[in-house]
A and B are shown apart, each in its own frame.
Chain A
Amino acid sequence: AQSVTQLGSHVSVSEGALVLLRCNYSSSVPPYLFWYVQYPNQGLQLLLKYTTGATLVKGINGFEAEFKKSETSFHLTKPSAHMSDAAEYFCAVSETSGTYKYIFGTGTRLKVLA
């Protein structure tokens, strides 16, 4: 069965530093890939997604992610962290055909230090 692994349940970075949140998936057939963000007391909202085409995907709030098939990875980055980036981030995958299931990782809580 498809699975998603997010390394690091908590990540702390200084304001202005690089943000790197890791995500790996298990499928031998590349799925569709998503990153969602959840701010306190809110539902999840989409940051970016990869379906086909260019492997470097740009999203909202300066985030981007690169799909690497050989590494089965879809890591999320942002060059310079801002205090407002403090939130929980979830990587998710969905199958390219068949079931409508979306599978989520366990999440990474990002803390930004002043």
Chain B
Amino acid sequence: DVKVTQSSRYLVKRTGEKVFLECVQDMDHENMFWYRQDPGLGLRLIYFSYDVKMKEKGDIPEGYSVSREKKERFSLILESASTNQTSMYLCASTQGATNEKLFFGSGTQLSVL
């Protein structure tokens, strides 16, 4: 069965720490996405990648960066975590065309204290 795996379900970090959120998919998908989910705001796109080493900013990229060195892995990096980055982070992937469905990981609930 298709799988998108996020490395941590829960994460607690301190303000100013560098944080890495990892996502791995086993479907050989071209496109990978990072969203953050906040109550009342739905899912907002942070970054996406349509190929290895290729990335594009989403709607809320400030304070985040990404890395895609291998096709199956897409990392989200918080260079200096802040309390307003406390959120649920969801990784997703899809193959090719935009009429394809997104496959989601189970999410990482990040708390920044």
How many B residues, CB 8 Å from partner? 25
Give Cα distance in the complex from A38 to B98, angstroms. 21
How many A residues, CB 8 Å from partner? 28
| Contact assessment for A43 and B31 in the assembled complex, using a CB-CB cutoff below 8 Å | no
| Contact assessment for A102 and B45 in the assembled complex, using a CB-CB cutoff below 8 Å | yes
Least CB separation from B32: chain A residue: A100
Q: Determine which residue in B42, B44, B104, B106 has the highest number of CB atoms from chain A within 10 A of its CB, and name it.
A: B42
* Distance (whole angstroms) from the CB of A110 to the closest CB of chain B: 15
Q: Does B50 contact A (CB under 8 A)?
A: yes
B106: chain A residues within 8 A (beta carbon): 41-43
| Contact assessment for A44 and B48 in the assembled complex, using a CB-CB cutoff below 8 Å | no
| Contact assessment for A43 and B42 in the assembled complex, using a CB-CB cutoff below 8 Å | no
| Contact assessment for A45 and B99 in the assembled complex, using a CB-CB cutoff below 8 Å | no
Number of contacts between A and B (CB, 8 Å)? 66
Give Cα distance in the complex from A6 to B81, angstroms. 31
| Contact assessment for A49 and B101 in the assembled complex, using a CB-CB cutoff below 8 Å | yes
**Using a CB–CB distance below 8 Å, which chain B residues touch chain A?**
4, 31, 33, 35, 40-45, 48, 50, 56, 58, 90, 92, 94, 98-99, 101-102, 104-107
Query: Given A43-B107, A102-B33: A90 and B102 within 8 A (CB)?
Result: no
Give Cα distance in the complex from A101 to B57, angstroms. 10
A102: chain B residues within 8 A (beta carbon): 33, 45, 92, 98, 102
| Contact assessment for A104 and B107 in the assembled complex, using a CB-CB cutoff below 8 Å | no
Give Cα distance in the complex from A90 to B98, angstroms. 17
Q: Out of B48, B56, B98, name the residue touching A95 (CB < 8 Å).
A: B98
